[in-house]
Structures are given as structure tokens and as C-alpha cells.
Structure 1
Amino acid sequence: MVSSNVVVKVVSALVLLAFIASGSAVAEIPCNLVVQDLMPCVPYVLSGRQLTTACCGGVRSLYTAAKSTKDRQDVCGCLKNAIQSIPLTSNAARLAAGLPAQCKVNLPYKISPSTDCKSIK
């Protein structure tokens, strides 16, 4: 089980990352919105707790909002940066990558630090 101190650190890192990334480029879907939508997924990814409807709602919301290629690339970049900023275990990385399928959302890319966001159409 992940301690509440670790969860607070992860959430803080995600929020800080969102503010830094959203200030560095003008995007239709800013990173702080991406982080906000996926914040309910943090307990599932970090500790394998039950997947919530709020988490899947956030995944669906981002999928629906990303209408253009640039939107999808921006969301992917935010996700990739967020994943890279957190020291994930192999299980947490697997759970993060599997979020779209678990939520029955067909994202055109994998949530992973190795995803090439520029190749997304």
C-alpha cells in the first residue's frame, strides 16, 4: 500500500508539472486540465486500488476534448511528462498504460514515457 505522503508528493509533482508545461506553450488543452482530469486515477495507478468512475470519466473527457491532431499530441505530451516525473514501478507503469482499455476508451497512443507524441495523428 502506498503511503499518503507518497500520494501527496505525486499529486504535488503533477500539479507543478502542469503549471510549468502550461506556461511554456499555448495549447488548446493545457496540461493543468489533463492533470485535473486524471487526478482521480492516481490511487489506481500507484497502488492498484479499484478503478473509479471518476478516473474513467477523466480519460473519456480528455479523449472527447482532443479533437485535432495537435490536441491529441498536446495531451499525449502532458501525459508523457507526467509519467516521466513519477518514479513508477513496473506494475504502476502497466496500470497507467492500461487505463484507456480499462475505461473502454480507444486512445490512439499508449500512456507511456516512451510514446512518440509527434507521430500521433
Structure 2
Amino acid sequence: MCRNPVRSIVVRALEVRYAVQEALRMIDNYEPPSTPHVDVPARAGTGHGATEAPRGLLYHRYTLDSEGTVTDAVLVPPASQNRPPRTRTPSRRMYGAYWKRALRPATPPTKSPQR
């Protein structure tokens, strides 16, 4: 690990140079495939996948019929995973009250009068 900012710039420049050289080498050695795609027969089924997106996990599921037509699709974007559950806070008013309680400063304990 390099902590000197000048050296880190030099190291990054070398990495960029290597990446460009490698990209040019790959372009020079590229041979196009004989066919641009592979024929896949349609069949009924369900498929799902998950991938990392900028704000979290993106989940998707698709169901196809025997002709290959999408009959059902479920997408769960990262934004919906980051929301609070609706069952716990059904209204904005309750949600606001919850945060007001959670974020208010703690009050110091009061001394009870001596008897």
C-alpha cells in the first residue's frame, strides 16, 4: 500500500497504461464467433436471479409458458428492501412520531425529594 500521494498517482498511471495495453491486445486477438447466437427452444419454466446493484441487491424472477411468453415477472429493487416494514408503521404520522421519540435527547434523571 502506498501512502505517498505522488507515488499513488504514478502507480495509478501505470495501472491505466497496463489496462489500455491489455485491451488493445484483446482487440487485436479477437475472432468473431461463427454464429452470433445460439438457438434455444422455448419451454415452460421459472427462472430467477440476483445481482448487486448500486444501492443493494436486485432480485428478479420470471415465469414462461411453453411458447416462451412471460406470464409472470417479479422484480425487487434495492430501494424497496431499504424501506421500513409497513406492518410496523402503517402511516406516515406514526412513522414520524416513532422517529421523534427515537431521536429526542435523553432527559437527565430527576432527584426525588429526600424525606
TM over 0.5: no
TM-score (norm 2): 0.20
Of structures 1 and 2, the one scoring higher in RCO (CA 8 A, sep 6+) is 1
TM-score (norm 1): 0.19
Structure showing the higher helix proportion among its residues: 1
Higher-Rg member (1/2): 2
